[in-house]
Amino acid sequence: MTAGPYSAKVMEHFMNPRNVGEIDGADGVGEVGNPACGDMMRLYLRIEEGRVKDAKFRTFGCGAAIASSSMLTEMIKGKTVEEARAVTNLQVAEALDGLPAVKIHCSVMAEQAVKSALDDYAKKHPG
Amino acid sequence: MRKVYFDHNATTPVHPEVAAAVQPFLGGSFGNPSSIHWAGRDVRKAVEDAREEMAAFYGCRPLEVVLTSSGTEADNLALKGVAYLEGNAGKHIVTSQVEHPAIINTCRFLETQGFRVTYVPVNRQGIVDPESVREALAADTILVSIMAANNETGCLMPIGEIGEIAKGAGILVHTDAVQATGKIPLPWETLPVDLLTFSGHKINGLKGAGGLLVRKGLELSPVVHGGHQERGRRGGTENVVGIVGMGTAFSLLRKNMDAEVAQVRGLRDTFERALFDRIPDLVLNGHPTKRLPNTVNLSFRYVEGEALLLNLDMLGIACSSGSACTSGSMEASPILLAMGADPTDAQGALRFSLGLGNTEEDVSYSVDAVERVVAKLRAMSPLYHPREAM
Ligand SMILES: Cc1ncc(COP(=O)(O)O)c(C=O)c1O
Ligand code: FES
């Protein structure tokens, strides 16, 4: 089902977001805000043997922001830390079958959240 | 799936009697109302009958009704028509920060044409203080334009007091009554205003028809220059279908307004009370009582408006968020910000505007749906789940 400006894939992830919640004793937590609109995303990562074992999120934001958060968690699970860090917002948007031009910025929050969570992980696990 | 329409401030469904009344003008009655032959005569009569219905509703003279293509055009005519009146020396206009874009953007344009505009603020409840209008008046103020009721919050502005202040200073007064018409009394006879805007599609008429009441004797410069239609105040062959539909809508209002308002107010109050009973952390945007009987604007704290709107849409409920979602960055509503709302709360604002055709079932279904959707989005919200100290 499409609605307003969004693809069916966006609506599917928006209505049934994967991996909502938090991880107790997460190995990395990232929190980023979108200065353009005041929206916010928090990402929790469980990392084992250099790979993203689990990812959960909480997002305050528009449909595109929630769908991007959901898609991102699906994309990074199983990836190595390096691979996860390389995920870009455009890859997230592409995986969602595109976002309206005015909503591309919403996927940026997802990219930044991974980097922020991985920075947190690196700080907690030096070396 | 159940469909619930709670967006009557955006537009209203066409009343079946309106649809029936315009049928002849989609077929055999096609003449130009300006033609003197048989084809034009009946159509002219229909246009003038419609005008009389509008005049009867407000209690004005039919020749005080100038028909336009929309509320937007009527607002343009009021502002530019006064500003550009030949011989007019004044260069200052007073309006408010919470007017519809039809007023705000016309004022912004006039600012590029050598006019000065003062946008008076509103209080935390969304209402213009008449004293702030008084303070804004300058020696060369030519017009005060304050809406009768706000489209987003439903707030009722004290146009009586504001009008008295302006008239006392010899200044013309306009009010945008697009939302107020059909919902609160607007007696032209005693209302201290010279110009009043209305729109057909907000009162169960058709889209693309509106009008401006212009007090007898007041001259205006036309905005749409053309033929002699509307006594030279608005050129262009009339939108007969829209005008006839609007006439019928006004005649229905004259008969049914009190009963409809009571009914809609009852439903709105039930809806509002149930939401406050069942959902914590709700903020009412607007005045608790000085408000249109059909409108409630609420901030659901910790969640965002577009996400709410989309979820409710998926459940068949049509309402509106104030955010300018088409503008790219989902900026919070300028109207709520002008009221001093917390920007995050303003982002979670939804407007529910009820109207003809809504039922108690609509209300109970929607209360359940809103409660569920808010709970779902709060479960997802980092603001609702503050980060634990780490
Ligand atoms: C207060 C107000 N003024 C003007 C308008 C514009 O009316 P129209 O849609 O007929 O151009 C609207 C409609 O949204 C309104 O709410
Ligand atoms: S508008 Fe803020 S993230 Fe989409």
Point out the ligand 1 atom lying closest to the alpha carbon of residue B70.
Answer: 10
Handedness of CA B218, B219, B224, B228 (dihedral sign): positive
**Percent of chain B whose pLDDT exceeds 90:** 91
3-state secondary structure of A58: strand
Calculate the alpha carbon distances from B52 to B49, B67, B198, B245, B253 in Å: 5, 12, 15, 13, 13
Task: Please name each of the domains of chain B with its CATH number.
Answer: 4-10+257-380 (3.90.1150.10), 16-253 (3.40.640.10)
pLDDT digits (tens, 9 = 90+) for B34-46: 999 999 999 999 9
Q: Which of the four pLDDT bands, split at 50, 70 and 90, describes residue B327?
A: very low
Torsion angle defined by CA atoms of residues B108, B109, B112 and B116, in that order, rounded to the nearest 10 degrees? -50
Residues 6+ apart with CB under 8 A from A60: A39, A40, A41, B302, B303, B304, B380, B381, B382, B383
Chain centroid offset of residue B155 CA: 11
A62 included as an active-site residue: no
CB A41 within 8 A of CB A109: yes
* Contact flag B381-A59 (C-beta cutoff 8 Å): yes
pLDDT at B150: 97
- Which residues in chain B have their CB less than 8 angstroms from residue A14's CB? 307, 310
Of B342, B1, B21, B75, the C-alpha closest to B205 is B21
CATH topology of domain A8-124: Sufe protein. Chain: A (3.90.1010)
Torsion angle defined by CA atoms of residues B360, B365, B371 and B374, in that order, rounded to the nearest 10 degrees? -120
Of B330, B329, B331, B332, the C-alpha closest to B346 is B332
Tell me the pLDDT of chain B averaged across its residues: 95
DSSP B306-329: HHHHHHHHHTTEE-B--S-GGGSS
pLDDT at B325: 45
pLDDT at B390: 45
pLDDT at B361: 98
* Contact flag B387-A61 (C-beta cutoff 8 Å): no
Q: In B213-248, which positions are buried (b, 16+ CB within 10 angstroms) versus exposed (e)?
A: bbbeeeebebbbeeeebbeebbeeebbbbbbbbbbb
- Which residues in chain A have their CB less than 8 angstroms from residue B333's CB? none
* Contact flag B304-A61 (C-beta cutoff 8 Å): yes
- Residue B349 Cα to ligand 2 middle (Å): 15
Of A4, A29, A14, the C-alpha closest to A62 is A14
Cβ of A41 less than 6 Å from ligand 2: no
CB B116 within 8 A of CB B91: yes
- Give the pair of three-digit tokens for residue B98: 């919470």
Q: What is the pTM of this model?
A: 0.93
* Contact flag A22-B385 (C-beta cutoff 8 Å): yes
* Contact flag B327-A102 (C-beta cutoff 8 Å): yes
- Residue A65 Cα to ligand 2 middle (Å): 6
DSSP B354-388: --TT--HHHHHHHHHHHHHHHHHHHHH-TTTSPPP
pLDDT digits (tens, 9 = 90+) for B209-220: 999 999 999 999
pLDDT at B344: 87
Mutate which of B312, B314, B374, B380 to disrupt the A interface (most A C-beta within 10 Å)? B380
The amino acid present at B239, given as its one-letter code, is N
Radius of gyration of chain B (CA): 22
Does the pLDDT at position B367 exceed 60? yes
Q: Which of the four pLDDT bands, split at 50, 70 and 90, describes residue B333?
A: confident
pLDDT at B323: 56
CB B301 within 8 A of CB B341: no
- Chain A interface residues (partner B, CB cutoff 8 A): 1, 3-4, 6, 11, 14-15, 17, 20, 22, 29, 31, 36-42, 58-63, 65-66, 102, 105
β-bridge pairing A39-48 and A28-34: antiparallel
CB B293 within 8 A of CB B179: no
Torsion angle defined by CA atoms of residues B225, B230, B232 and B234, in that order, rounded to the nearest 10 degrees? -20
Does the pLDDT at position B189 exceed 60? yes
Q: In A13-43, which positions are buried (b, 16+ CB within 10 angstroms) versus exposed (e)?
A: bbbebebbebbeebbbbbbbbbeebbbbbbb
Does the pLDDT at position A72 exceed 90? yes
The amino acid present at B108, given as its one-letter code, is R
B contact residues 333-352, partner A, Cβ 8 Å cutoff: 343-344, 347
Q: Which of the four pLDDT bands, split at 50, 70 and 90, describes residue B389?
A: very low
